[in-house]
Amino acid sequence: MPRIRHFTFFTRFVRYLRSSFKTILPVSSYRAAVVLILSFCLTGCGGSNPETQKQFDAFLSDCFQEYVTADTVTLHFKLSDPSAFGITAEEPASYGDFSLEKQQENCQRSAELLEELRSFDPDSLSEEDAFTWQIFEEALEASVSSEDFLLFQSPFGANGMQSQIPVTLSEYYFDDEKDIVNYLALVNQIPELFDQLLAFENARRDAGIVSPDFVIENTIDQIEQFLSASEDDNLLIETFEEKIENVPDLGKDQKQTYINNNRSLVRQVVLPAFTSLRDSLENYQEAGTDTSAADNSSGSSRPAGQENDPGRTDAGRERLCQYYGGREYYELLLSANVGTDKSPEQCIDALEGTLKDTVSDIASLTRENADLYTEYLSARPLLTDSQQILTELENDTLIDFPEPPDVAYTLKNVPDALSSTSASAFYLLPPVDSEDANIIYLNQSRVSPEDQFSTLAHEGYPGHLYQTNYYLSTDPEPLRSMLRCDGYDEGWGTYAQLYSYNYLEFAGVSRETESLLQQLYRDNDILSLSLAALSDLYVNYENYTPEALAEYLSAYGVTAEGARSLYEYVIENPTTYLSYSIGWYELEQLRNTMEKELGSRFDVQEFHEAVLTCGSCSFPLLKERVSSAITE
C-alpha cells in the first residue's frame, strides 16, 4: 500500500492517505485503506539483555510480516523483495477484508499484541528498540481505543476509495509476469470491493451516522470524471500498456494478450463497477439523510461507541461534535494521528496566538515598506521549471540539513483524468528496501509558478522525499515503516516548506526586497494554514455552523465560497489540517526550546539530524529523544 503525501492549503484536494496501515491503528481504518484501492527514550539502566533482545527482535519481525502480508497491495508497495524479509508464501491476490467485523477483529488483535509487547521490559532492550517499544505501545493503545469509533469514518468522499483505485493501480509496478497476473486479479475484484464499502456505509447509516449530501456528491463527481474518459485515455488502460513494455522475458504475443485482457476487464468489470457504485450512491441521495439518530449539538457525550438515540431524528447533523462520542473521537484523532498531547482547547490557543503574531508581522512588514505589497503581487520566482527547482532545493538542503542520501526520483504530472479532483501535489513513499521508487506527482492545473518552489520543497527537498530516504538510510527496524504519525510526517513537510523560503530567489528585485518577500510568503502560508486548522477545530469540536465559520473567516478576507469549501473539507477530514499546523508548531517550538537552552552551542543542522533520525513518532516521544540527543 503506497503512502501518498500531499500539499495544499485552501484548495480542495484529494487526500489519498492520511496515515499508513490502520490494521495497526484502525482509528481511521478506511482512511488508511483508501490507497489499497490502493517518547520516552528508554536507555535501559542495566543495559540490554541478549536473550530478551533476541526474543523482542523476533516479535517485531513477526508483527511486521503479519501487517505487511495483510493484503497484496500493501506487500507489493512496501517490499521490493519479500523473500529477503522471510516472506515466501504466495497468497491469492486480494485487497483484504474491509468489513466492520474485520476492523473490529483488528482492534482486538491489537489488544493481544499490546499484552505481548508489555511482556518485554524496555529496560532490558537496546536504546533503539526501547524507543520502538514506546512507539508501538502508543499505536496499539490507540488501535484498541478506536474500536468504539470505527463507524465515524466513511470510505467515500473527495478522498475516498473511488479516487484511490485508479491512482493505486496505475502505480502498481510490474517487475515480472507475476505482478501482471496479480494486478489483473485485483482489477477483477473491484466489484466485490465496492460491495464491501457499500455494506460498511450502510452499517454507518444503521447506526445513525449519515454522510452529508456534499460528501456523496463529491464521490459521484469523481466517479463521473473517471467514467467520462475515453477508452484510450482511461488511466488503467494507458498506464498498463506503458508498464508492460518494460517487463523482461515477456514476448510480444504475451504482452498483447495481457493488454487485451486488461482492456476487457476495464470495459466489462471496472466501468460497470463504477457505474453501479454511482447508482447506489445516487439512491442514497434520493433516500435523504433523515435517520433515527440523535443530534448532539451541545457536544455532550454518551459512552463511546453506543448507537445514537433511536428515539430522535435529525437530518442536519454534519459536524463531528454533533454525534454522541464525536468529541471523544476527535480527541483520539488528535492524539493518535496528529501525535500531540495538547487538548483541542490548547491547540486553539496555540493557533490563535500564531495567527495573531503572523497578522501583526504582515502589518509591520507592509507598513514599514510601502511598496512591499505591490512587489508581492508582481513578484516572480527566478526558477519556474520543476526539475530545476527540485535540483536547486536538493543543493540548498546541504546548507542547514544533513547530507541527503543519493536516491533516484521521478517527477510526474497528475493524469488529466484526475486533475480536477487531485491534490496539488503528492509523494508516493518507496518500498522500504528500494532507493529507486520515489515519485512526486504535480498537478499542473492547480500549482501556479509562484507555488511550485514551496510545493516541491514540501514534497521533495527538504520535505517528504528527503525525510523518508534519510530515515531509511539509518537502517531502521522494518516495523517502524508501518508506525506512522501524521503530525510528525506532515509537520516536517510544512516545516521544510516554510524553511525553504530562505532559499527562494525572485527575478529582478534587490536582495533586501527579496528577503522581505521571503518573509511575506512564509507569513502568508502560516496564515492560511492556521485558519484552515482553526476552522477544523471550530467546526468539529466547537460546533461552528457554516454561517458562524464564514463570519469568523471573513475577518481575514476569506470569501463565503472559500469558507463553505473549507467547511466541507474539514467535515470530511477531521484533524487533517492539524497534522500540518500543529505538527509544524510542535517542531518550531521544539527548535525554539533547544535554541534557548543551548544558546551559542545550538547547531541547526544537528537539530535537523536529531529530528530526522528519530523517524515518525509522537511529539512527546520526539521531544524527549531530541533533547537527549543534542544536549548530551
CB 134 within 8 A of CB 42: yes
With beta carbons less than 8 A apart as the criterion, state whether 339 and 617 touch: yes
Ramachandran assignment for 117, one of left (phi > 0), alpha (psi -120 to 50 degrees), beta (any other): alpha
**Measured between alpha carbons, how far apart are the two ends of the chain, in Å?**
39
- pLDDT confidence band for 583 (50 / 70 / 90): very high
The grid cell for 574 is: 477531521
Residue where a domain stops, chosen among 474, 496, 521:
474
- 329 in any annotated domain: no
The verdict on residue 441 lying in a domain is yes
The pLDDT tens digits for 264-278 are 999 999 999 999 999
- The label of the residue with cell 543534542 reads 630
CA nearest to 616, candidates 142, 126, 131: 131
Alpha helices in 122-188 (DSSP H): 127-145, 161-170, 177-188
Residue 421 has what pLDDT?
Answer: 63
Grid cell at residue 19: 496515515
Is residue 137 within 8 A of residue 188, CB to CB? The reply is no
Amino acid at 76: H
269 shares a domain with 159: yes
How many domains are contained in the chain?
2
pLDDT tens per residue, range 282-324: 998 887 644 443 344 444 333 333 344 333 334 568 999 999 9
Helix (H, G, I), strand (E, B) or coil at 439: strand
What's the CA gap between 566 and 535, in Å, rounded? 7
Q: Would the CA dihedral through 331, 333, 336, 338 be positive or negative?
A: negative
Residues 171 and 280 in one domain: yes
Model confidence at 415, pLDDT cuts 50, 70, 90, reads confident
Residue 556: inside a domain, yes or no? no
Whole-angstrom Cα distance, residue 63 to residue 51?
19
In this structure, are 388 and 271 located in the same domain?
no
Cα distances (Å, whole numbers) of residue 93 to 22, 102, 182, 436: 20, 18, 5, 24
Report CA dihedral (508, 510, 513, 517) to the nearest 10 degrees. Answer: 40
Residue where a domain terminates, one of 285, 302, 318: 285
Band (pLDDT 50/70/90 cuts) for residue 367 is very high
Residue 447 phi/psi, 5° resolution? -105, 115
- Spatial contact of 616 and 381, defined as CB atoms under 8 Å apart: no
Structure-model confidence comparison of residues 428 and 559, the more confident one: 559
Q: Which of 234, 268, 285 is the last residue of a domain?
A: 285
At residue 434, the 3 state secondary structure works out as: coil
Q: Which cell goes with 250?
A: 515477456
Calpha distance 240→180 (Å, rounded): 9
Predicted TM-score (pTM) of the model is 0.89
Arithmetic mean of pLDDT, 75-83: 94
- Average pLDDT over every residue of 420-436: 83
Instruction: Give the list of residues 6+ apart from residue 371 with CB closer than 8 angstroms, or none.
Output: none
Band of pLDDT at residue 15, cut at 50, 70 and 90 = very low
Residue 286 pLDDT: 81
| 176-210 pLDDT, tens digit each | 999 999 999 999 999 999 999 999 999 999 999 99
Average pLDDT rounded to a whole number, residues 353-368: 96
- Whole-number Å distance between alpha carbons of 476 and 469: 11
Residue 485: alpha-carbon gap to chain centroid: 9
Domain-located, residue 185 = yes
* Cβ–Cβ < 8 Å for 380, 449: yes
Higher pLDDT, 497 or 165: 497
Band (414; pLDDT cuts 50, 70, 90) = confident
DSSP for 208-227, please give it. T----HHHHHHHHHHHHHHH
Q: Residue 199: inside a domain, yes or no?
A: yes
pLDDT tens, position by position, 220-240: 998 998 999 888 889 999 999
Cell of 495: 516545516
Residue range 46-74, pLDDT digits in tens:
467 889 999 999 999 999 999 999 999 99
Q: Has residue 424 been placed in a domain?
A: yes
Closest by Cα among 167, 210, 242 to 17: 167
Does 281 share its domain with 385? no
CATH of residue 219: 1.10.132
Residue at grid coordinates 473490529: 104
- Across 499-519, average pLDDT: 96
In a domain, 23, yes or no: no
Alpha-helical segments (H) within 484-602: 486-499, 511-540, 546-554, 560-572, 576-598
pLDDT at residue 597 greater than cutoff 60: yes
**The three three-digit cell numbers of residue 474, written as one number:** 539509518
Average pLDDT, the chain: 87
Q: How far apart are CA 235 and CA 187, in angstroms?
A: 13
Cα 182 off chain centre by? 26
Residue 382 CB contacts under 8 Å (≥ 6 apart), including other chains: 505, 506, 507
Instruction: Return the exposure string of 128-140: e unless at least 16 CB atoms fall within 10 Å of the residue's CB, then b.
Output: ebbbbbbbbbbbb
Contacts of 536 by beta carbon, 8 Å cutoff, 6+ apart: 570, 574, 575, 576, 577, 578
Asked if the structure places residue 173 within a domain, the reply is yes
Domain that holds residue 463: 381-404+411-474
**Distance of alpha carbon 141 from alpha carbon 26, whole angstroms:** 11
Question: Cβ(19)–Cβ(337) under 8 Å?
Answer: yes
Q: In terms of DSSP H, where are the helices of 307-419?
A: 326-333, 344-368, 372-378, 386-400
Q: How far apart are CA 420 and CA 438, in angstroms?
A: 24
| CA-based radius of gyration for the chain | 24
Of the pLDDT bands very low, low, confident and very high (cuts 50, 70, 90), residue 417 is low
